[in-house]
A = this chain, B = another copy of it.
Amino acid sequence: MRIIDEIHKEDIDSMIVLNPKNIAYLSGFNPSSFSVLILKDEPLLLTSKMDFEDANLNTKVPIEEFKSLDKIKDYLKGTVGIEKNITLGIYKKLKISSMFEVKMTDAVERLRRIKTMDEVQNIKKAVGIAENAINAVEFDSRRSENEIAAQIEYNMRIMGSKKASFDTIVASGSRSSLPHAEVSDNSLEMPLVIDWGATYNNYCSDTTRTLIETEKQEEIFEIVLEAQKSAIDVIKPGIKASYVDKVARNVIEEYGYGDSFIHSTGHGVGLEVHEGPSLAKSETIKLEKDMVVTVEPGIYLKGEFGVRIEDMVLIKNRGKVLNKIKKKIEL
């Protein structure tokens, strides 16, 4: 396992992996209940009785039944790595800090940021399913936000996505000024922000399109689009992730809408719809080849409307947009 070399670089001898997505990434088994992957020269997976058979079908890592947190220490050796998102409750119950030297590490997340060819294929497939699903939706103004969301999710499933990658957003009229609006039963009004994603082999897609109508909406749309294009244009290995955010933000600020761009420019996508790196001011890392990120600037005019445009970008020598769907969807 590549992860073993990775933790050894940090002088970690064994590691406790609890995050189900990290376990899925490393072992191929997607836990549905509390499971523990012990990393050391001979890795070991501990799962509940309930998940045992499913694990057996999906991983080559040796499996034992998970009995109790107390027992985990018997499998550890040397300096023990733990994930940053281990809960304090479980950490205390493990009682390992008195017996081992313990180090927080994001070694698994670091590996997950760089996608293999297989992972990129899965992501591309998820993007394609999501786009086909929305192309098959009829945007009739008598339909409600909720009906559109239901239709998108149904289409994605039928087209091969086992689940949506997150709760579909269909935000219409003034509700489009809330970046994460909950779907309502309101009838469709313009503009219409749709933020949706499929999964394929557990890999996610994440795309946003905004349908517009008035001249004012068109004006804002063009600014957001310019910001997005400028940001995508500067993407390449070696630049700071925060720089991409800065470029998008600069464009929107130049037009005087800086205060209305109320979130970061993007995020990594993989087994989770939000993972590293973040395209945000606070992000410290640099972009690398084979990362997959979203680029999604937006302008939100409180009480009026909002516009967001989001595409997924694979980083090669330059940023390569994975989406094929047009930026402007016509009714």
Contact = CB atoms under 8 A, between A and B. Distances in A.
Interface of A: 30, 32-33, 48-54, 82, 84-89, 91-92, 104, 146-147, 149-151, 153-154, 157-158, 162-163, 167, 177-183, 262-263, 300, 302
A92 B85 CA distance: 11
A279 to B, nearest CB: 14
A146 B181 CA distance: 28
A257 to B, nearest CB: 14
B104 A181 contact: no
Give 4 closest A-B pairs by Cβ, nearest first.
Answer: A84-B89, A32-B180, A150-B157, A49-B262
A178 B51 CA distance: 8
A91 B86 CA distance: 10
A90 to B, nearest CB: 8
Contacts of A183: 162
17 contacts: A49-B262, A49-B263, A50-B180, A52-B262, A53-B177, A54-B180, A54-B181, A86-B88, A88-B88, A88-B91, A92-B104, A146-B157, A147-B158, A150-B154, A153-B153, A162-B182, A162-B183
A87 B84 contact: yes
A162 B180 contact: no
**Copies of this chain, count:** 2
A209 to B, nearest CB: 19
Contacts of A85: 87-89
A262 B32 CA distance: 13
Contacts of A167: 162-163
Nearest to A177: B53
Contact of A50 (B48, B87, B162, B179): B179
A91 B50 CA distance: 32
Contacts of A50: 179-180, 262-263
Contacts of A84: 87-89
- Most chain B CB atoms below 10 A, which of A53, A91, A104, A181: A53
Contacts of A88: 82, 84-88, 91, 104
B89 A104 contact: yes
Contacts of A179: 32, 50
Contacts of A177: 53
A54 B178 contact: yes
Contacts of A30: 182
A151 B146 CA distance: 15
A146 B160 CA distance: 9
A53 to B, nearest CB: 6
Given A86-B87, A154-B153, A302-B53, A263 B180 contact: no
Contacts of A302: 53
A195 B153 CA distance: 19
A88 B19 CA distance: 13
Nearest to A261: B49
